[in-house]
């Protein structure tokens, strides 16, 4: 192994590029359903979308994947990407939107440090929609380590955020 190196603590993951089979279906999902903004397209082969006007958070392209089947579940590649919502109420709002549009949800978990909703995009790429709890609420072990877990998310309690 190489010499030890710690990535700077303020480092962020800026964007992701996904190979998709049908650009229009992907834009319907990411922009039409999830609410991302279309920033630009490269003809009919690629699109770049964002939240809040950033140059792009997600690149979608058909360069090597037009009309291709989804990747096999039992193969290497993307397990899921995660989209961080700023507040619990924002997470509740997108959950209600998914419910209103009868969009299938594959899971919903409380991880102690975060609350997450899981679904697949039109190409069966895993998508996690989540919000982080404030750091002072994260569960810790007696030794002071983060104690993440996976428990069922209280959907009813989350949706109650919309009534506050």
User: Nearest 5 degrees, angle CA 81-CA 85-CA 86?
Assistant: 145
Q: Write out the two tokens for 72.
A: 């096999």
Question: What residue segments make up the domains of the chain, in order of their start?
Answer: 15-65, 79-164
Q: What pLDDT does residue 69 have? A: 94
Q: What pLDDT does residue 1 have? A: 62
| Nearest Cα to Cα of residue 109 among 153, 43, 51, 156 | 153
Cα(75)–Cα(158) distance, integer angstroms: 33
Q: What pLDDT does residue 159 have? A: 98
pLDDT in tens, 49-84: 999 989 999 999 999 999 999 988 889 888 899 999
Q: What pLDDT does residue 14 have? A: 87
pTM, whole model, 2 decimals? 0.93
CA 129 to chain centre: 4
Q: What pLDDT does residue 3 have? A: 85
Residue ranges for the chain with pLDDT beneath 70: 1
State the CATH architecture for 79-164. Answer: Roll (3.10)
Q: DSSP character for 140?
A: B
User: Residue 142: helix, strand or coil by DSSP?
Assistant: coil
pLDDT in tens, 25-37: 999 999 999 999 9
Q: What pLDDT does residue 8 have? A: 85
- The domain made up of 15-65 has a fold known as 2,3-Dihydroxybiphenyl 1,2-Dioxygenase; domain 1 (3.10.180)
The reply to whether 79-164 shares the fold of 15-65 is yes
């Amino acid at each position: 192994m190489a010499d030890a190196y710690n990535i700077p603590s303020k480092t962020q993951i800026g964007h992701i590029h996904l190979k998709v089979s049908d650009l229009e279906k992907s834009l319907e999902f990411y922009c039409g359903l999830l609410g991302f903004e279309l920033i630009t397209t490269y003809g009919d082969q690629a699109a770049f979308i964002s939240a809040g006007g950033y140059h792009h958070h997600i690149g979608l392209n058909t360069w090597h994947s037009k009309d291709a089947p989804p990747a096999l579940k039992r193969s290497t590649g993307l397990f899921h990407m995660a989209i961080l919502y700023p507040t619990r109420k924002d997470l509740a709002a997108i959950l209600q939107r998914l419910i209103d549009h009868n969009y299938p949800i594959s899971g919903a978990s409380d991880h102690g440090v975060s609350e997450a909703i899981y679904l697949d995009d039109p190409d069966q790429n895993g998508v996690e929609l989540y919000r982080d709890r404030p750091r002072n609420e994260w569960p810790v072990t007696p030794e002071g380590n983060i104690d993440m877990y996976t428990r069922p998310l209280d959907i009813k309690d989350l949706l109650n955020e919309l009534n506050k």
